[in-house]
Structure 1
Amino acid sequence: MTKGTLLLTGGSGMVGRNILEHPLATDWEVLAPTSRELDLTDATAVNEYVASHEPDMVIHSAGQVGGIQANMAHPVAFLERNTAMGRNIIMAAYQSGVSKFLNLASTCMYPRAAPNPLTEDMILTGELEPTNEGYAIAKIMATRLCQYIRREDETAQYKTLIPCNLFGRHDKFDPKHSHLLPAIIHKVHLAKTKGEETVEIWGDGTARREFMYAGDLADAVMKAADDIENLPDLMNTGLGHDFTINEYYQTVADVIGWQGDFVHDLSKPVGMKQKLCSTERQTAWGWSAPTSLHDAIQRTYDFYLNEATK
C-alpha cells in the first residue's frame, strides 16, 4: 500500500529524475507530468490537473535553470517563467485542498553581500546578485507565498527547502546551459581526449562554492515527504562546508585523470565570492549529505561517459 499520490513537477529535470530514482519514491504513487503533458505556466491547465488528480502531496522542483551565461542572456524568461510556474502550482494545490507542499528554492535568494554562512533569516535583507537576479526574485516569490499560506492556514504544510548548488546524474553538460561543475567535467574531459595541456578557469579561482550531489538532495526531499510536519518552514539543504573553484577543477582533473595546467581569465565574471549555507536547522532536523565530493564527481562523470555523451 502506498503512502498516497505524490505530484512531482520537474520530473524530467536533474532534481526530479534523482527524486524518481530514490528508493523511497516507490512508496508513493508518483505523478510526474512532462512540460508537454502539463504546462506549468498555464494557470488554467495547472488548476484542472491538480483538481482532477487530487494529490496528497506536491513537490515543486520544476524551473527554468542555467548558469551565469544563461541567466545573464535571458533574464526575462528566468523571472517570468519561474514566477508563473511557482505561483500556478502553489495556488492550484492550495485551492484544491492539498495539505502538504514541498517547495524547492535556491540559495541565489540570499543577498549578494550577506555574511557567510547564510542563515534562513537573511532572505530579503539586501541586494541580490545581479547575474541571477530574475531567477532569485521568482524563487523568493514562491517561498514567500508558501509562508503566507502557512500564516493564514496553520494546517497547510507548505514548506521550502533551499538547496545549495547542485550537480549529479542527469545534469546538463553543455557549457551554454550548464552550471559550474558539469561544465568543468565537460571541459576537462575534452582537454584529456584532445590532448590539451591547459584548461581555462574564469576569474582567479579563489571564489568559494558549496556543491551538493543531486542524489543527496533527493534523499533530503524524500525524508521531508515523510516528515513534513517536523520540517522547518524554511530550511537550507547543503553540506555546511565549501571549496574554491580551483579545488573543484583539481578534483575533477584527479577523477578524470587529466594532468595539465590551469590558466585564469581574470576578465570573466565570477559571481559572489562565497555562498555557504548554514546547516544548523538541517542538523537539528536530523539530516546530513552522505556523499563525498570525490565520489559525487566520480558518479557524475560515470553518467557523463555512459549516458550524457551518447
Structure 2
Amino acid sequence: MAVCSRDPRHVYPDHNKTCPWCQQQQSAAIPQQTAMAPVKPTVPTSARQRPQSAPVSASKAGRPRRTFTAIASLAVVGVVVVGVAVALAAAQDSPGPNTASGAAQSEAVDTTTVVTEEPEPVSRAVAEPSADLHRGAESRYSADYAARVDAVSHDGLQVHVDFSASGRSDLRRPETSCLVITGTDGQTYIARPTQVALTTDERGNFAGRLSFPAIVTGAYGFQYSCSSDYSTAEIGSVNVPAVGVSRFSEDYYAVVLGFDGTRIQFAVHGRSDLRGPGSSCISLDGQSFTPEVAIESEWSNDAITLAGAMEFSQEVAGWTFVYSCSGYSEVHLG
C-alpha cells in the first residue's frame, strides 16, 4: 500500500501511479475540508488479502515531526528559564549602588563617621608699631615766634620731640603744644604731651623734650602751643596696627590694639578728665559686659595716656566694643 504525498490520510494500492482519492476529489470539485468519505476502490483479490493500513496508522507517520518540534520548543523554553535564573542570581549577588534596601542604606549612613572641624578662634594679636620720622621743620607764628624740631624719635606708643622755641617775653609755654594727626580714616586726632622735660626754661626762650602718645596710625605734625595761629611742622608718619578706634572727639579716643579670647589690649588718650577704662563694655543682642582692667603703662601731665588689658567674663570675638560704654564710637571685634 502507498500513502498519498499530498494527504497522508489517502492510502491506496501501490501499483497505482496517482492517488485515486485525490483524482476523485478533483473531478467532483469538492473542497477537501467538506469532502465526503472516500469511496473504497476496487482492488485485486491479492490486495484484499493484505491487511490494509488504516488512515489512523498513516497519521502516526507524521507524529515524529510534531514530537521533534515539541521537544525543541521545550528545550528553548528550558534554556530561557535557566538564563533568567542565572541573571537573577547574578543581580542579587551584585553590590550595585542602587540595589541596597532602604534599611541597608540607612545603616550605612548611621555608621558613617562625620568629621567636623572646629572653627579656629577669631583673634587679633598685638603688633609692634613703626614710624618714619624726620627733623628740621618749624612751627611758626611770625618772624618773631617759632619753634624748631631739632630731633624726633619713636618708642612703642610714644613719639619724642626735641625742640627749641624762641620769641618775645610773652612766648607761650611749650606744655601747651601738641601733635596734629591726620588718621587713615580721615579723622583728625590731637595728641597732647604726657611728659615734659625742659633743658631751657626762660621767658621768651624754651628748649627740651616733649613726649606725646602715638596710638593712632596717620601723618604726624608738631604744632607749638596747639593753636591754629602757629603752622604745623610735618614730622613724618606712624603706623599702629589696630582693630579700630573708639572715638569721642579729637581729644578723646581709645584704640583696640588686639584681642584674644576674653582679653582686649587697648590704649586710650584724653585730657585729665578722661573716663576710666573700667566703664567700657562689650555688647551683643541687648547684652553687655564690663571688664576687669589691668593698666600696663601710664603717662600723664595735663593729658593722660593709658595702655593695658581689659579682661571680660566671656569670649569677645563677634561682640562690639565701646569705650566708657557710651558717647564713643563702636569697634566691631570680628
| Structure exhibiting the larger radius of gyration computed from Cα positions | 2
More helix by share: 1
TM-score by length of 2: 0.25
TM-score by length of 1: 0.26
Higher relative contact order (CA 8 A, sep 6+): 1
